[in-house]
């Protein structure tokens, strides 16, 4: 079945540091890939997406490239701000499944220290 794996543990870094959150996936078809962000006390917000191999999704300074050869969709940001502190979820949607249910990773808590 489809699944998403995110690196273990919270991520703590200083303001203006480089952020990477790893995400790998297992899928039977050709999934679309997403990053969602959950700010404290809020719901899930779509951050970016990519629908096919080598596509790059980007938004708010965050980027992720759909790598079919390594089945990965790592999230990166060159210079984080305190306001980026949140939980980040990688997810996939398999279009071969007509209902496009999303499969999520466990999420990574990111804490940015001033």
Partner 1 sequence: EPEVTQTPSHQVTQMGQEVILRCVPISNHLYFYWYRQILGQKVEFLVSFYNNEISEKSEIFDDQFSVERPDGSNFTLKIRSTKLEDSAMYFCALRASSTTDTQYFGPGTRLTVL
Candidates 75, 93, 108, 110: give the one binding partner 1 (CB under 8 A).
93
Is residue 108 involved in binding partner 1 (CB under 8 A)? Answer: no
- The stretch among 11-19, 22-30, 41-49, 58-66 that binds partner 1 (CB under 8 A) is 41-49
CA pair distance 15, 57, nearest whole angstrom:
23
Task: Give 15 or 111: the residue with its C-beta nearer to partner 1.
Answer: 111
- The stretch among 14-22, 43-51, 64-72, 76-84 that binds partner 1 (CB under 8 A) is 43-51
The answer to whether the CB of 29 falls within 8 A of the CB of 6 is no
The answer to whether the CB of 31 falls within 8 A of the CB of 94 is yes
Report which secondary-structure segment, H or E, holds 53: none
Residue 71 makes CB contacts below 8 A (sequence gap 6+) with: 24, 25, 26, 27
Is residue 58 involved in binding partner 1 (CB under 8 A)? Answer: no
Residues contributing to the site for partner 1 (CB under 8 A):
32, 34, 36, 42-46, 49, 51, 89, 91, 93, 95, 97-107
């Amino acid at each position: 079945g489809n699944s998403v794996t995110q690196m273990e543990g919270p991520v703590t870094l200083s303001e203006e540091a480089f952020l990477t959150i790893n995400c790998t996936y297992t899928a039977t078809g050709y999934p679309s890939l997403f990053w969602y962000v959950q700010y404290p006390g809020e719901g899930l917000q779509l951050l970016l997406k990519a629908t096919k191999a080598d596509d790059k999704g980007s938004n708010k300074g965050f980027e992720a490239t759909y790598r079919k050869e390594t089945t990965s969709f790592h999230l990166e940001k060159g210079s984080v701000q305190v306001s980026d502190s949140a939980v980040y979820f990688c997810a996939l949607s398999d279009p071969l499944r007509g209902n496009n249910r999303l499969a999520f990773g466990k999420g990574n808590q990111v804490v940015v220290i001033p």
